[in-house]
Amino acid sequence: MPFRPQVIIGELMKTFGTNTNALPMSREETKTVEKFTRILKDAETDDLLIQSDDEEEVFGGIVDEEDWKPDDDDPSACVVPDKVNFSSGAAIDVAMVHSAVEFMTDVRTKKLRSFASMQRRYRFIKTQHDMQKLRVFAKNNEIQCSRVSQFSTLSGLLRTKVFEAIDDRISIDKFTLRRLAVQLNDEHVHIEGFQASDGWLKKWKKTNGLVSRHVTTFITRANYVNKELTEQAAKKFVEEVKAELATLDPDVVYNCDQSGFTKEQYCKRTLAPKGVKRVERLVQSKDALTHSYTILPMLSASGKLAPMLYVVLQEKGGKFPKKGHFSPDNLIIRANTSHIMNKQLMVDWVESAVCDPSMPTEVVLLLDAWPAWKNEGDVQAAALSGNTVHVRSIPPGATSFIQPCDLYFFCPLKNFVKKVNAYIIYSGITFKTSERDNLLRVISAVYRVFRAPIFQSCWKYGWIQGGYIDDQHVKVETPSKFCFKVSGYCSQKKTRDTMCQDTAFLLCPYCKKVLCFNHWVGCGFPAHKCKC
């Protein structure tokens, strides 16, 4: 027989009467009406659980034997281990809830057990509401995890997947993260209406310590898969060179590497008002931001730079103009159709730089996997008579973590040049660094600074970091920190009888004198040259 709320209400009216005077209800009366209304509606939909003091008494009806199976209450709807919240505030494991649902129906009588019996066995059952929740689980054949617990589970699954992708060097953007979160929810957690909103993703990233970062290095999958082999080859190479260094003078062991520089170096960050979206700053020449030159320094294991720096400029037709160019005494300058080195320039570099009279007659060169250097015989054959060149080839893919010049030379060098260009722009000096002669003046002056003995231990750090040397590195100031920590005015003479009153630009690392830009670079005055 269907449940009839009208019958209940009619019986109550017989007992208590009706509100004939239409008196307004108090707050407590309103709450009581709401509670009775919910009870009657639950009873009407067969969702009301009635407690009985007699364990054998049926309080919820009999479950037909043909419809009931002990395995029907499988909590597999919650695929991952999770919890269900009950009235006491406790979060109970799904396995325990499943056990309670299974125990709630007496297998022999097919009757529902009493509240007291359930409470004695399962302490998390505190109220009739808890019993009603178990009854609903049994009826729907599904245990619903709490929403908070579901979100916690989803967050853990997403964290696992994302960090696996990070370890595998796979890019994860906002779009991919949202798709992954929705997919995991659909496959495992089943949170109703979940869409991975921007707010939820933002909170999730903050909780897991994740932020969007600029990609600094790109690698192929083949390189990543072979990473372990590369690291093993690199370790073996370092051990071999380290053993050889123990028997050699560190002044004859050099790491040589080429690097391209744009003609006008610039800092990618600057001060700007908070909230400004578009930041524009002056440069001398936009073309100079894309046109480059190449330098090829030689750094010894003792931290000394070779006396001569090899420089390749891109010139029309691969030739300098007839009028010539500025030729400082510490640069070997060559023209080419592009700034990129080739095999012909490699041979010239060996002859002119490696075999320079100021260099040792026998040297050991650590070279990377640049094609022109792959054939060690070609490099050795290019040496002039009376000179001997030994080549040690760095394993392909290992230059970023065992090549001294990459580890600690090019970065401080580019940082120094950027500061020079920034000073020129800010001070309004009439000195265009992209012009050939001015560019060579700056390269020469910077290289002279970097060869100062005070920075020898600084450049030795690249060898220490690569594992070739065990010496304890003594912390020293970089050229940028040492040279630009200056104030006041230039200490040089402007004429025979007057001192230069230009603003101080740089502190000479040799003589510790304060120099203005023009005296340092040699613009309008002879360049300041201390003995290297």
Q: Is residue 24 in some structural domain?
A: yes
Please report the pLDDT score of residue 181 as a whole number: 93
pLDDT above 90: residue 448: yes
Both 405 and 532 in one domain: the answer is no
Helices (H) and strands (E) in the chain, counts: 20, 12
Please report the pLDDT score of residue 358 as a whole number: 94
Q: Are 353 and 306 in contact (CB under 8 A)?
A: yes
Model confidence over 218-275: pLDDT tens digits?
A: 666 666 667 788 899 999 999 999 999 999 999 999 999 999 998 887 777 788 888 8
Model confidence over 196-213: pLDDT tens digits?
A: 999 999 999 999 999 888
Q: Is residue 412 in some structural domain?
A: yes
* Residue 67 structure tokens: 């419809």
Lowest mean pLDDT among 94-103, 237-246, 281-290, 485-494: 281-290
Both 239 and 183 in one domain: the answer is no
Percent of the chain exceeding pLDDT 70 equals: 85
pLDDT above 70: residue 64: no
Please report the pLDDT score of residue 71 as a whole number: 33
- Last residue in a domain, options 95, 116, 140: 140
Do strands 91-93 and 506-507 pair parallel, antiparallel, or not at all (unpaired)?
Answer: unpaired
Both 428 and 339 in one domain: the answer is yes
Both 366 and 432 in one domain: the answer is yes
Element of type H or E holding 286: none
Please compute the mean of the pLDDT values over residues 446-455 and round it to a whole number.
Answer: 95
Mean residue pLDDT of the chain comes to: 82
- Token look-up 């700056």 returns 442
Strands (E), 288-327: 292-296, 298-300, 309-314
Q: Are 150 and 189 in contact (CB under 8 A)?
A: yes
Both 241 and 386 in one domain: the answer is yes
Both 136 and 240 in one domain: the answer is no
Q: Are 412 and 455 in contact (CB under 8 A)?
A: no
Model confidence over 511-528: pLDDT tens digits?
A: 999 999 999 998 877 788
Which residue range forms the structural domain that includes residue 192?
Answer: 147-207
Could you tell me where the DSSP H helices lie in 209-324? 221-225, 227-245
Q: Are 18 and 10 in contact (CB under 8 A)?
A: no
Both 409 and 291 in one domain: the answer is yes
Lowest mean pLDDT among 25-39, 102-116, 205-219: 25-39
Question: Which CATH number characterizes residue 182's domain?
Answer: 1.10.10
Residues 266 and 420: their CA atoms lie apart, in Å, by 9
The 3-state secondary structure of 420-433 reads HHHHHHHHCCCCCC
Both 289 and 402 in one domain: the answer is yes
Please report the pLDDT score of residue 339 as a whole number: 87
Residues 528 and 522: their CA atoms lie apart, in Å, by 7
Q: Is residue 165 in some structural domain?
A: yes
* Residue 94 structure tokens: 């799904």
Both 105 and 176 in one domain: the answer is no
Residues 436 and 446: their CA atoms lie apart, in Å, by 16
Q: Is residue 241 in some structural domain?
A: yes
Which range among 21-30, 102-111, 389-398 has the greatest average pLDDT?
A: 389-398
Residues 1 and 139: their CA atoms lie apart, in Å, by 19
pLDDT above 90: residue 21: no
Torsion over CA of 318, 323, 328 and 330, rounded to 10 degrees? Answer: 30
* Residue 488 structure tokens: 């006041």
pLDDT confidence of 46, banded at 50, 70, 90?
low
Q: Are 159 and 152 in contact (CB under 8 A)?
A: no
Q: Is residue 124 in some structural domain?
A: yes
Please compute the mean of the pLDDT values over residues 274-288 and round it to a whole number.
Answer: 79
Please compute the mean of the pLDDT values over residues 167-192 and round it to a whole number.
Answer: 88
Please compute the mean of the pLDDT values over residues 303-317 and round it to a whole number.
Answer: 94
Give backbone dihedrals phi and psi of 321, rounded to 5 degrees, phi first. Answer: -65, 160
Torsion over CA of 131, 76, 88 and 70, rounded to 10 degrees? Answer: 30
Residues 453 and 532: their CA atoms lie apart, in Å, by 8
Q: Are 399 and 368 in contact (CB under 8 A)?
A: yes
Max CA separation in the chain (angstroms):
125
Both 514 and 392 in one domain: the answer is no
Residues 2 and 143: their CA atoms lie apart, in Å, by 27
Cα of 270 vs its chain's centroid, Å? 22
Q: Say which DSSP state 67 is in.
A: T
pLDDT above 50: residue 147: yes
Closest CA to 194 of 185, 184, 203: 185
Q: Are 341 and 372 in contact (CB under 8 A)?
A: yes
Please report the pLDDT score of residue 4 as a whole number: 77
Please compute the mean of the pLDDT values over residues 175-191 and round it to a whole number.
Answer: 89
Q: Is residue 54 in some structural domain?
A: no
* Residue 365 structure tokens: 């060169």
Q: Total domain count for the chain?
A: 5
Both 309 and 416 in one domain: the answer is yes
Q: Which residues pair with 105 in a beta bridge?
A: 112
pLDDT confidence of 51, banded at 50, 70, 90?
very low
Please report the pLDDT score of residue 442 as a whole number: 94
Please compute the mean of the pLDDT values over residues 127-155 and round it to a whole number.
Answer: 74
Do strands 331-336 and 91-93 pair parallel, antiparallel, or not at all (unpaired)?
Answer: unpaired
Q: Is residue 222 in some structural domain?
A: no
* Residue 27 structure tokens: 């707050």
Q: Is residue 53 in some structural domain?
A: no
Both 443 and 507 in one domain: the answer is no
Do strands 309-314 and 331-336 pair parallel, antiparallel, or not at all (unpaired)?
Answer: parallel
pTM comes to 0.63
Q: Are 494 and 501 in contact (CB under 8 A)?
A: yes
* Residue 182 structure tokens: 């929705």
